[in-house]
Structure 1
Amino acid sequence: MKLISGLAFAAICLVAPLSSVQAQDLTGLDVTSDAFTKSELTRDQIEAAIRALPDGKILDLSGKSLNGIDLSKLDLRRVKLQSARINKANFKDADLEGVVLDQAWALNSDFSGANLKGASLFASQFGGGKFDGANFANALVAADFSNASIKNATFDGANLSADEKNQSMGLMRGAFKSATLDGSSFKGANMARVMMEFASLKGTDLSGANLRKGEFAATDFTGANVAGANFDGADLNSARIGNMKNAESAKNMDKAKNRDRANVN
């Protein structure tokens, strides 16, 4: 689909996005400023703009400040949110299938029950957010979810891995340090080099997932289904692995790092 270029949406589309470096680094940024705490638009304005979209066009909200806005239950599939500042925003049960959220700031936002199938979340900040029941199936999830609640979410077929051939911005990958992922599904997901230190993966479905070189120090795998999961080079230092399900059919468990330091009780 093509971006809107008409005068009707000029005010919405002219704001330049944040740089990719800023999207991963808080240094030097004033996250208490209006740009990170207030909204330039209202829900009504965004709904009206979506309704007025011509066929084949999308509403480009790249770089906009939409902090604290309530967009819950809206169909946002024709909206682009690259580099948008959507901190403490409400996207609960919103439809964001295929939406570009690259380099977005969404600290402490609520995406519970949101549909993010096939969405692009590259170098984005979702720390402290709520994603319980969200659907990330087949999405690109190279974003920071530190301290987030992501219970009973779906990541089936998603790509959480690092693109080792294109790392001019550093090692961008799914980062879930101290996140709660209990009951979530990662069937067939690419989780190579994922960061999940101190995360809770209780009761998750990791069947067929690629965990190669993932960082799982002190991660709790209690009750996780690891049938066919690839642990080649995964760091299990102090991880709780004693009560994993189908561990006998996991791949390359003998090649995992620090397995001798894992908690098997």
Structure 2
Amino acid sequence: MDKITQGLVKMKKIITLVLLSGALYSQCNEKSWKSFYKSKTQDMSGCNLKGADLKGAKLVNANLTSANLEGANLEKANLTSANLEGANLVKVNIEKAILLDSRLKGVISGDIKGNIDPEIPISGKYHLIKGYIIGPGVNLEGADLKGFSLKYKKLDNVNLKGANLKDADLEGVTLTGSIIINANLDNANLNKVVSGNLHGNPKSLPKGWFKINGYLVGPGAYLYRANLKGQNLKGINLANAYCEGIKLEGSILTDANLTGTNLFGANIESVVSGGIQGSPKEKEMPFGWKLLKGYLIGPRVDLSNANLQNVNLKGTNLKGVKLDGAILDYVSSGGIKGEPESLPKNWLKINGYLIGPKANLSDANLEGADLNETILDYVKSGRIKGNPRSFPEGWSKVKGYLIGPKADLSEANLKKANLEGLNLKEVNLDDADLEGANLEGVRSGGVKGNPKSLPREWSKINGYLVGPGSDLSNANLQGANLERANLNQASLFSSNLKDSNLANADLQGALLVGADLKGADLTGANLVGANLERADLGKTNLSRTDFRGTILTMINLTGANLEGLRQINNHENSNLDDNFNSEEISFEDADIDNNGLLTKEEFQKFMGN
């Protein structure tokens, strides 16, 4: 190596030594910290003060960011307005130290010594609790906080990665923006906990709690204006949770528990619900919304196939609501706002009412309503106000009731009502009061229930209203017990009266054209003036039956028992013409040729014609 090269190498070594000695001289530590503190900037950032004795030290406004103060003695030290962000304060002694207005974000702590009341802040929102500095933005990674009481402390933006918070009391704690990766929150008290923008997933949570979209969600949670839009919250427990202004648009809340939940001002449009338990706090629902039979009901919700039986929807906003396939049996309505996106088959919204099969229209105001296209099967009504502009065929309004086929008139008060000529087929009259009502010409059949009362001489038999002037055309009264029934002027056209008991029945003026009376018992029946044209009286018992003035054109009396007719009948006015069908009428007393059969001539002779 030449002399020039050797000189350069020697110079390089000298420069390196100078630089190293300068660096060592500039290092902030226990011996040199004062010179750094006394500098214009008071910059002690990164200072290594591990184990340093700083008792009584004046460090007002000191910049101690990221400084290592582990195990240092800061007893009676004055750290007013000092910047300790990111500093390591593990095992430091801060007995009687002054930390007023000091900045503690990101500090690492644990086993800190100092007799300080945990309820009295050491600086701003920061507290010393069992050796840890607790407050916004501190670094509690891996901290053992098991069973700690941190009620209502500010822990927003805190690093809780791997921290043990099992059994901790975190009531009212603010955790917004904190890191909770692998944190143990088993059995912790999270009542009224404030969260949002949480990072990572905890190792465990208390029963019934979940981390959803950056929030801790569970009973009693504080979720003011939380954004849970479109989340699957099926079965979630939000009992007593504070959810004012929460965003839940499009979320699934099926089977959720909303007991005592505050939902005032919440945006819950388009939610999917059903099976919801409990009820939110009174007057703390979004305006115009209702929780009914486990469903949240309001604008744009999806209630497809929902079971809303017996629900009161009065005054609800159904704008854009999907109700296709929903069960609306006996739903009450009125004042409905908005137009539903869809309704069940045969249902319509008219004058603010939902009208369809089994609707409950009690107390409805139907003034001017066009009901012509409605299906009113099994509709419940009463105290109806106003007069509809039109009705479906066979329907009318009587005494505040909508009356027609299949109407639900259970418990209806129809005393002295004029129901003349109405169609009451398949109506429900259970416990209905029809005392003194006019039922002349009423058509019935398939009538359900047992009326509380009926007009005099009326009864319900085999699902029919039976009485004077009743319209029983085509009725099936086979085998019915109509003994002593008052069917005066009744229409029994083409009715089935096979094997029925009409003994002593009053059938004066009754229309029995085409009626099937085979095997019926008409013993002592009064058929004066009745029309039995083309009636089938085969094997009928006509003993003592009164046929005076009766039309008997083309009747069939094959096998009928006519015993006693001769004593009570004068058939001068009877219509027994050549079409009288009695080729074989069994009647011994009139059987002239003793062959066991009664011919037409024998019957006429027997009747005195």
Q: Do residues 53 (structure 1) and 120 (structure 2) align? A: no
Q: Do residues 205 (structure 1) and 258 (structure 2) align? A: yes
Determine the structure 1 residue equivalent to 2:189: 115
Cα 1:240–1:110 shift into 2, 3 Å: farther
Q: Name the amino acid aligned to 1:145.
A: I
Determine the structure 2 residue equivalent to 1:74: 148
Determine the structure 2 residue equivalent to 1:22: none
Q: CA deviation at 1:84?
A: 0.7
Q: CA deviation at 1:98?
A: 3.5
Q: Name the amino acid aligned to 2:198.
A: Q
8 Å contact from structure 2 (residues 197, 214) kept in 1: no
Deviations 1:91-131 (A, max 9, x none): 3321112333343233564534322345443x442665554
Determine the structure 2 residue equivalent to 1:105: 179
Q: Name the amino acid aligned to 1:65.
A: N
Q: Do residues 145 (structure 1) and 212 (structure 2) align? A: yes
Deviations 1:220-255 (A, max 9, x none): 4434334656243766544789369x9947997x23
Aligned length: 209
- Give distance in 1, aligned partners of 2:158 and 2:182: 14
Determine the structure 2 residue equivalent to 1:230: 285
8 Å contact from structure 1 (residues 112, 131) kept in 2: yes
Cα 1:126–1:231 shift into 2, 3 Å: farther
Determine the structure 2 residue equivalent to 1:165: none
Determine the structure 2 residue equivalent to 1:16: 105
Q: CA deviation at 1:204?
A: 0.5
Determine the structure 2 residue equivalent to 1:125: 198
8 Å contact from structure 2 (residues 222, 243) kept in 1: yes
The TM-score with structure 2 as length reference comes to 0.27
Determine the structure 2 residue equivalent to 1:154: 219
Q: Do residues 184 (structure 1) and 237 (structure 2) align? A: yes
Cα 1:221–1:132 shift into 2, 3 Å: farther
Cα 1:71–1:236 shift into 2, 3 Å: farther
Cα 1:133–1:78 shift into 2, 3 Å: same
Deviations 1:44-89 (A, max 9, x none): x2xx349843352323342233345553332233854221122454
Determine the structure 1 residue equivalent to 2:248: 195
- Give distance in 2, aligned partners of 1:148 and 1:201: 19
- Give distance in 2, aligned partners of 1:176 and 1:89: 30
Cα 1:235–1:101 shift into 2, 3 Å: farther
The structure whose residues are more often helix, as a share, is 1
Q: Do residues 259 (structure 1) and 326 (structure 2) align? A: no
8 Å contact from structure 1 (residues 107, 128) kept in 2: yes
* Matched position secondary structure for 1:125: coil
- Give distance in 2, aligned partners of 1:232 and 1:108: 40
Q: Name the amino acid aligned to 2:219.
A: T
- Give distance in 2, aligned partners of 1:50 and 1:200: 49
8 Å contact from structure 1 (residues 125, 145) kept in 2: no
Aligned-pair identity (%): 16
Q: CA deviation at 1:202?
A: 1.9
8 Å contact from structure 1 (residues 196, 217) kept in 2: yes
RMSD: 4.8
Q: Name the amino acid aligned to 2:245.
A: A
- Give distance in 2, aligned partners of 1:146 and 1:115: 20
Q: Name the amino acid aligned to 2:105.
A: A
Q: Name the amino acid aligned to 2:322.
A: D
- Give distance in 2, aligned partners of 1:238 and 1:49: 56
Which of 65, 70, 74 lines up with 2:139 in the alignment?
Answer: 65
- Give distance in 1, aligned partners of 2:215 and 2:268: 17
8 Å contact from structure 2 (residues 108, 138) kept in 1: yes
- Give distance in 1, aligned partners of 2:208 and 2:114: 25
Cα 1:241–1:194 shift into 2, 3 Å: farther
Cα 1:239–1:64 shift into 2, 3 Å: farther
- Give distance in 1, aligned partners of 2:144 and 2:191: 21
- Unpaired runs of at least 5, structure 2: 1-72, 90-101, 122-126, 129-133, 289-297, 328-609
- Give distance in 2, aligned partners of 1:263 and 1:92: 48
Q: CA deviation at 1:199?
A: 4.4
- Give distance in 2, aligned partners of 1:188 and 1:238: 24
- Unpaired runs of at least 5, structure 1: 1-5, 18-38, 136-143, 163-172
Q: Name the amino acid aligned to 1:96.
A: L
8 Å contact from structure 1 (residues 161, 174) kept in 2: no
Determine the structure 1 residue equivalent to 2:169: 95
